[in-house]
Amino acid sequence: MNNITPYSSPHYFIYLLLLLLPIMIGLWFGKRLHVYDFFATVVILWITFFGGNMSQGISLIFYILYEMLLVFIYLSYRKKHNNFWIFTTFVVLAIVPLVFVKLDPLLKNATISLFGFMGISYLTFKAVEIIMEIRDGAIKNIKPYEFVRFLLFFPTISSGPIDRFRRFQKDVLKVPSRDEYVELLHSGVNKLMQGLAYKFIIGYFFGTLLLPKIQILTLSYRGETPLGISWALVAYMYVYSMYLFFDFAGYSLFAVSISNFMGIKTPMNFKAPFKSKNIKDFWNRWHITLSFWFRDFIYMRLMFTMIKHKWIKNRVNIANFGYLTLFLIMGFWHGETWYYIVYGLFHAGAMITNDAWLRFKKRHRKSIPSNKFTHAFAVFLTFNVVCFSFMIFSGILDKLWF
């Protein structure tokens, strides 16, 4: 049997629902079956990482041991000391495996990606969060099995959503009442059905039936028009954007749904992002757990450090520098290709422009109309800005130009 990517095939859902049944029965009767939860996790991890090619599974084991060692060494250190540079060293060490994996395609050297397995980014975000909150004093103690359970929570292991340790612990340690669990089951079923519609019907239509045809048409203009620009490229921009949303949102709905069946309230990852009135509003609705992670653990900490040390005195310039840093990191996180980096810089520019507009609007609020028409125009404009950024992200321009 080959490795099965989570939520990608009927076989995975069959295995999943069979394994979930005892967990659901236990929660229905007010009991959380911790031993069985561990067994179900091992089975799911086995079919995901050890089913055929075992290299991913072996990498996962070494990665967990490595991150666990870092976390517990730092936890022991933090109980007596709080040196910033020691903290920074542990954060850097925690992300080293991810850096190696991200550099692997660029260097074309498979030997450096020892930790290459599906979901390493999201596990790294969780591990770094724990180290940062240990430093903040928000996490004062954590047991090895709690650390492993949090990182290897199988509904979200491959692509999120990215939960927070303390929020996750509250759910795990609490058994929901019958009424609460009925609500979770109702929520889980609704999200499962919505996810099936998003990923396997709408996402399939845009991504499998429509996108390849439009891509062929788009690439047919290469060398025929300036920069290959055509109406086909515009169509590609919208179709790819729809595919990206429905495919990823469908996956996230599956993850939240299965979490609900297990009595865990994993946070939602999308909240009608194409209804956003500006680009900042968009990032509060799109890949929410990732954008909030970057906001809380990179942007806000960078802002605090810059203000504290007075590296830049002007608050606007501090915010702008923060946007550039944040989205540049996000671009590199997606990959070391020019279009991912340009995608990040584009969003940084959009955030800077949006903030400038909001400041201008605040100063001239009496002369700038605010009504249903202006709101609709703002949503329309934001939607098109976002779709344009997704066209950059897709890599179609790389194929057209190079």
Is the pLDDT reported for residue 109 higher than 80? no
176-232 per-position pLDDT tens digit = 999 999 999 999 999 999 999 999 999 999 999 999 999 999 999 998 999 989 999
Per-residue pLDDT at 284: 97
| 110 pLDDT higher than 80 | no
Domain positions in the chain are: 33-174, 185-401
Whether 107 shows a pLDDT value over 70: the answer reads no
Whether the predicted pLDDT of 340 surpasses 70: yes
Query: pLDDT band for position 93 (50/70/90)?
Result: very high
Rounded distance, CA 228 to CA 221, Å? Answer: 5
Q: Which pLDDT tens digit goes with each residue over 226-276?
A: 998 999 999 999 999 999 999 999 999 999 999 999 999 999 999 999 999
Q: Reply yes or no on whether 334 is catalytic.
A: yes
- Calpha distance 379→373 (Å, rounded): 10
Is it the case that residue 398 has pLDDT exceeding 80? Answer: yes
Nearest to 157 by CA among 47, 70, 243: 47
Q: How far apart are the first and last CA of the chain?
A: 39
Mean pLDDT of the 351-374 span:
92
Residue 112 has pLDDT above 60, yes or no: no
Locate all alpha helices (DSSP H) within 79-177, ordered by sequence: 84-107, 120-136, 144-151, 165-173
If you search the block for the tokens 């990206």, which residue do you land on? 244
Q: How far apart are CA 96 and CA 86, in angstroms?
A: 15
| CA-closest candidate to residue 249, choices 211, 287, 300 | 287
| Span 306-328, pLDDT tens digits | 998 888 889 999 999 999 999 99
Q: What is the pLDDT of residue 115?
A: 64
Q: What is the pLDDT of residues 129-157, one digit of tens each?
A: 999 999 999 999 999 999 999 999 999 99
Statement: residue 113 has pLDDT above 60:
no
Specify the pLDDT at position 310: 85
Digit-coded pLDDT (tens) for 38-62: 999 999 999 998 877 788 899 999 9
Using CA atoms, how far apart are residues 97 and 112, in angstroms rounded to an integer? 9
Return d(Cα 109, Cα 106) in angstroms, integer: 8
107 vs 148, residue with greater confidence = 148
Of 15, 11, 9, residue with least CA distance to 40: 15
In 10 A of CB 256, how many CB atoms? 26
- Residue 47 in contact with residue 12, Cβ under 8 Å? yes
**DSSP per-residue string spanning 279-303:** HHHHHTTSSHHHHHHHIIIIIHHHH
Most confident of 97-101, 160-164, 334-338: 160-164
State how far the alpha carbon of 188 is from the alpha carbons of 181, 194, 287, 303, in Å. 10, 10, 19, 38
pLDDT, tens digit (0-9, with 9 covering 90-100), for 15-42: 999 999 999 999 999 999 999 999 999 9
> Cα–chain-centroid distance for residue 171?
21
Residues above pLDDT 70, as percent of the chain? 97
Distance CA 43, CA 39 (A): 6
Helices first, then strands: H and E counts in the chain: 18, 0
Among residues 11, 34, 309, 334, the one annotated as catalytic is 334
CA pair distance 44, 320, nearest whole angstrom: 43
What gap in Å lies between CA 64 and CA 74, rounded to an integer? 15
Q: At what angle do helices 120-136 and 84-107 cross, to 10 degrees?
A: 170
Contact yes or no for 45/15 (Cβ under 8 A): no
Residue 114: the pLDDT is 63
What's the mean per-residue pLDDT of the chain? Answer: 93
Q: Which of 346, 166, 192, 156 is nearest to 269 (CA)?
A: 156
**What pLDDT score was predicted for residue 123?**
96
